[in-house]
Amino acid sequence: MNIKDEYIRFFESKGHKHIPSAPVVPENDPSVLFNTAGMQPLIPYLMGEEHPYGKRLVDYQKCIRTTDLDEIGDKTHHTFFEMLGNWSLGDYFKKESITWSFEFLVDVLKIPVNRLAVTVFAGDENVPFDKEAADLWESLGISKGHIASTTSDNFWAAGETGPCGTDTEIFYFRSEEEVPEVFDVDDERWVEIWNNVFMQFNRTKEGKIEKLAKKNIDTGMGYERIVAVLEGKTDNYTSSLWSDVINLIEEISGKTYAGNEESMRIIADHIRTAVFISADDAMIKPSNKDQGYILRRLIRRAIRHAKKLGIDINSDWDEKIALLIIDKYKNYYEELSKNKDIVLENIRNEKNKFNKTLEKGLREFEKKSNSDIDATTAFHLYDTYGFPIELTLELAKERGLKVDLDGFKEKFKAHQELSRSASSGKFKGGLAGNSEIETKYHTLTHLLNAALKQILGPDIHQMGSNITSERMRFDYNTDRKLTDEEKKQVEDIVNNWIKEDLPVYKEEMSKEDAIKSGAECRFIEKYPDIVTVYFIGKDKVISKELCGGPHVKSTGVLGNFKIVKDEACSSGVRRIKAITEGETNEKK
Ligand code: SER
């Protein structure tokens, strides 16, 4: 039985529409690098916006969590995972949610009722004990002894602000031992498998809890966990979800999983995540910042562990594993087949780059490893041998050494400032790299957005964007193609602004002031309370947008702007691809 398919089928039978997983890189949300939960792409709808698929939704969402990336290697953590979820947007509430969860677990997955236990909200000064949920569970057959209550673990919020609510968590008894009559939340034999949030509040930035216009249901169940738990595995990587990948790594390395668990888990996990990041339509490439840096770290760490296992890192081991992962998931995520070549190329290129310096870097590390690693060595490993600092930390930890991390950060910052000076034209030649051109495209994105509004009207908004060193991509809401004349007008407007060499500057302000100022922004609720607004213009401000940057200091350096494509993207959305070319003022 495939739990993922069964889950979708079950909730479809309860009137839910299966929505596709959102990309791992959230569109229009610069506040996070990746989607970390099934509900995240749905926040606007949980806040009240109408969802095009209706009020009952079900999906499996690709999620990436990298906060404890360096912890991967244990039995249960993954950087990438899939979250099964079902939602009611102002439709059904507690009764149906609890009943259907019970039905799915007991009738579909055939879990014996006495192996299940639940927690409900215990009550505090704002919200009372959730007697309704407790009674519902009991009426379905969960014994009183298996219903516990907490306050801290039974209130779920997406973050400091935003939609939130009390929840009920469902646990499974994963042990051969006899099931205890009384459920103890701290007894590790009970594993949490599902979380149903009764989302009826919004937490404001003052910390006030106010009622949402509509009551929602938001549930989440980690796929890799449920599979492992139901197969009785305490090590997720030994479940049927991973066995083929682990077998392949055993075959490639000629070693057994037993005794080499950590490195094999890291390789399996990191290559899978690298495949999903690379295949995402955001077209992330390994780099030194943001998602690109995560991708780089994942690939480089996987390589280091492959080497540790004695795998010939110049062979096609990485491609074999990536291909197996693509094959396993391609029926669920069509981008994997579509972007297969890009995925393989990303991993191969990064591998080739790192393989050149890894050996020497490791030797350098060994040379210095008779004492703690000082800042100069850590920075040298980073700068010359491409060792992400996290890799140096990991190597040091394995030998019980410390790394002067603060010293490294100082050196890193000084280096960055030097690069920034270089890209702003103070030091010519040498240090400026890809990021310089990407920064230009960031600013051009704002100019294009402003120019489109001038030509097509103020209701035009950015629906997505993506930048590489070769081009920028900009999605906007319209249902028709730009005429040739309009295209030319947009280009002319942008190029005039470039010629005028307008200053680009930023201001920090409260979210409210930003909205009042008319700054361009989508999904305002996802931003922190204090936001950065970028302005472009001298006497007249021609663009103001909420944005994390970075941007060029003035538009004169942006070259000649050219639209190369204006194509349909999805219903009501078109996609412009544009480039900048030619001489800039900076070089003159
Ligand atoms: N938002 C809840 C969670 O992430 C349920 O989906 O656990």
CATH class of 436-581: alpha beta
User: Can you give the pLDDT at residue 526?
Assistant: 53
Strand 56-64 and strand 17-18: pairing? parallel
The two three-digit tokens of residue 93, written as one number: 């509430």
- Does the C-beta of 57 come closer than 6 Å to ligand 1? no
* CA–CA distance, 374 with 368 (Å, rounded to integer): 9
Q: What angle do CA 30, 36, 37 make, to 5 degrees?
A: 120
DSSP bridge pairs for 437: none
Question: Phi-psi category of 429—alpha, beta or left, where left has phi over 0 and alpha has psi -120 to 50?
Answer: left
How far from 90 is each of 49, 57, 87, 310, CA to CA, in Å? 11, 11, 9, 55
Question: Measured in Å, how far apart are the chain's first and last C-alpha atoms?
Answer: 66
pLDDT score of 138 more than 60: yes
Give the mean pLDDT of 507-532: 72
Distance 321 CA to ligand 1 centre (A): 30
Q: What is the pLDDT of residue 588?
A: 30
Closest-CA residue to 359 (of 297, 292, 400, 308): 308
- Per-residue pLDDT, 560: 92
User: Which residues lie closer than 8 Å to 90 by C-beta, 6 or more apart?
Assistant: 55, 213, 214, 215, 216
| Rounded Cα gap, residues 499 and 511, in angstroms | 32
Q: Which helix (H) or strand (E) holds 542?
A: strand 541-546
* Both structure tokens of 151: 């306050």
Residue nearest to atom 6 of ligand 1 (CA): 220
Residue nearest atom 7 in ligand 1 by C-alpha distance: 220
Q: Which atom of ligand 1 is nearest to the CA of 37?
A: 4
Q: Quote the Cα angle for 269-68-151, to 5°.
A: 120
Distance CA 447, CA 495 (A): 9
The token duo for 174 is 């994963």
Average pLDDT over residues 432-440: 66
The pLDDT assigned to 32 comes to 84
41 CB within 6 A, ligand 1: no
Q: Does residue 298 register a pLDDT over 60?
A: yes
Cα–Cα dist 575/497, whole Å: 22
Whole-model pTM: value is: 0.71
Expressed in angstroms and rounded, the spacing between residue 167 Cα and the centre of ligand 1 is 9
pLDDT digits (tens, 9 = 90+) for 346-355: 999 999 999 9
C-alpha 159 to ligand 1 mean position (Å) = 11
Q: How confident is the model at residue 433 (pLDDT cuts 50, 70, 90)?
A: very low
| 235: three-class secondary structure by DSSP | coil
How much distance in Å is there from the Cα of 318 to the middle of ligand 1? 33
Tell me the pairing of strands 190-203 and 573-581.
Answer: unpaired
**Cα 165 to middle of ligand 1, angstroms:** 11
pLDDT at 525 over 80: no
The mean of the pLDDT values for the chain is 90
The alpha carbon of 497 and the centre of ligand 1 are apart by a number of angstroms equal to 45
How far does the centroid of ligand 1 lie from the alpha carbon of residue 267, in Å? 27
Please determine, for residue 425, whether its predicted confidence score (pLDDT) is greater than 60: no
Instruction: Mention every residue, 6+ apart, whose C-beta is less than 8 A from residue 263.
Output: 73, 305, 306, 308, 309
Give the separation between CA 327 and CA 267, rounded to whole angstroms.
17
Q: Which residues contact 212 (CB under 8 A, 6 or more apart)?
A: 46, 47, 48, 163, 199, 200, 201, 202
What is the predicted pLDDT for the residue at 472?
Answer: 86
What per-residue confidence (pLDDT) applies to 432?
29
Distance, CA 156 to ligand 1 centroid (Å)?
A: 7
Structure tokens that stand for 83 in this block: 């979250």
Q: Which CATH architecture has domain 3-236?
A: 2-Layer Sandwich (3.30)
Decide whether any atom of ligand 1 lies within 6 Å of the 170 Cβ: no
From the CA of 220, how far away is ligand 1's center (Å)?
4
pLDDT tens-digit profile of 23-35?
A: 999 877 777 899 9
Instruction: Assess whether the C-beta atom of 58 lies below 6 angstroms from ligand 1.
Output: no
* Residue to substitute in 156, 192, 217 for testing ligand 1 pocket (most ligand atoms within 8 angstroms of CB): 156
H helix intervals, 290-374 = 290-308, 317-329, 335-338, 340-368
From ligand 1's centre to the CA of 435, what distance in Å? 35
pLDDT at residue number 585: 42
CA 53 – ligand 1 centroid, Å: 20
Ligand 1 atom closest to 38 (CA): 6
- The rounded Å distance from CA 57 to ligand 1 centre is 14
Of residues 505, 548, 543, the one with CA closest to residue 528 = 548
> Which long-range contacts link 6-11 to residues 24+ away (Cβ below 8 Å)?
6/104, 6/108, 6/109, 7/58, 7/60, 7/84, 7/104, 7/221, 8/58, 8/59, 8/60, 10/100, 10/103, 10/104, 10/108, 11/56, 11/58, 11/86, 11/100, 11/104
- Print burial letters for 39-63: b (CB count within 10 Å at least 16), e (below 16): bbbbbbbbbeeebebebbbbbbbbb
Tell which one of 87, 195, 200, 226 to mutate to probe ligand 1, the residue whose CB is within 8 A of the most ligand atoms: 195
**166 CB near ligand 1 (under 6 Å):** no
The residue whose CA has the least distance to atom 2 of ligand 1 is 220
DSSP 107: I
Q: Is the pLDDT of residue 422 over 70?
A: no
Decide: 39 in ligand 1 pocket, CB within 6 A: yes
With 80 as the cut, is the pLDDT of residue 412 above it? yes
Residue 200, H or E segment: strand 190-203
Question: Residue with the nearest Cα to atom 3 of ligand 1?
Answer: 220
Q: What is the pLDDT of residues 15-72, one digit of tens each?
A: 999 999 999 998 777 778 999 999 999 999 999 999 999 999 999 999 999 887 877 9
Per-residue model confidence as pLDDT tens digits over 225-264: 999 999 999 999 999 999 999 999 999 999 999 999 999 9
For the ranges 192-201, 229-238, 543-552, which has the lowest average pLDDT? 543-552
Asked if residue 156 has its Cβ within 6 Å of ligand 1, the reply is yes
Ligand 1 mutation target, pool 11, 32, 39, most atoms within 8 A of CB? 39
pLDDT for the residue numbered 419: 63
Give the residue-averaged pLDDT of 71-99. 96
- State how beta strands 56-64 and 80-89 pair: antiparallel
Tens of pLDDT, residues 361-378 = 999 999 999 999 999 999
Domain edges within the chain: 3-236, 242-353, 369-428, 436-581
Residue 570's pLDDT band, with cuts at 50, 70 and 90, is low
Question: pLDDT: is 530 or 304 the higher one?
Answer: 304
537 token code pair: 């213009």
What is the Cα gyration radius of the chain? 26
